[in-house]
Amino acid sequence: MDSGVAVFGGATLTPSVSSSLATNVRLFHLSPHRRTSHLAAFRSTSHLFTHSSSFKSPLKPHIFLPHLVASLEVEETYIMIKPDGVQRGLVGEIISRFEKKGFKLTALKLFECPKELAEEHYKDLQSKPFFPKLISYITSGPVVCMAWEGVGVVASARKLIGATNPLNAEPGTIRGDLAVQTGRNVVHGSDSPENGKREIALWFKEGEVCEWAPILEPWLKE
Ligand code: DAT
Ligand code: MG
């Protein structure tokens, strides 16, 4: 990650803006009396912030930031509507969010996922106590598999999807608007460009990914 740039609510902050923001945030933390009374309902400010050990910047202390910075490269990401999203009739709604944003759909299928594929897809989580439940959830009904392409699509799709725990996901995100539990968070999105490629190759066969030129492209890109 580029350590000189941070993304805050979609806006890119230069180091100087970042450091003044960091100062303000530290002030906010160190001076509880500065908080306005409507914030008194919160136990403390600390639970509003995420912390990433890999996030190296002056903002590190406790800023609520998405940890992925959108790149300027054309990328591919694997998006999957999980069985709860299919059962709850959310397929159109979820696809629509990526379409409206302006990304290009390159592959799409309804699919019953075999256990071995679910285990391979989530192999990094094998040692987690929730792994068996995760596998039975993903294989409990059909999923909708998609590949999307676009500049910065990996990080942008993660922002559209929202935090893993839907109760922490911002309103306006898919999980923030449509889900309440981590174990029923309706949609998957690749977490890096490398995993985007890996997952698309895992879920789609040769010939299932289409190359095409959307006619709206000149209205989306200068
Ligand atoms: P994400 O799907 O946001 O990339 P992840 O890769 O950490 O999140 O985890 C994959 C999925 O595993 C997640 O969407 C839901 C499930 N999961 C993660 N953490 C969990 C937990 N603490 N309890 C139950 N399920 C969890
Ligand atoms: Mg993940």
- Burial (CB < 10 A; 0-12, 13-18, 19+), residue 156, is buried
Q: What is the pTM of this model?
A: 0.74
Candidates 125, 127, 159, 164: which one to mutate for ligand 1, based on the most atoms within 8 Å of Cβ? 164
Digitized pLDDT (tens) for each residue of the chain, 222 residues in all: 333 333 333 333 334 434 443 433 333 333 333 333 333 333 343 333 344 444 444 444 444 345 567 778 899 999 999 999 999 999 999 999 999 999 999 999 999 999 999 999 999 999 999 999 999 999 999 999 999 999 999 999 999 999 999 999 999 999 999 999 999 999 999 999 999 999 999 999 999 999 999 999 999 988
CA of 175 to the centre of ligand 2 (A): 14
The alpha carbon of residue 163 and the mean position of all alpha carbons in its chain are separated, in whole angstroms, by 6
Q: Where are the alpha helices (DSSP H) in the chain?
A: 15-30, 83-87, 91-101, 115-121, 131-138, 153-161, 174-178, 193-203, 217-220
- Ligand sitting nearest the alpha carbon of 182: 1
The residue contributing the CA closest to ligand 1 atom 5 is: 164
Query: Which stretch of DSSP H or E encloses residue 109?
Result: strand 104-111
One-letter amino acid identity for 166? Answer: P
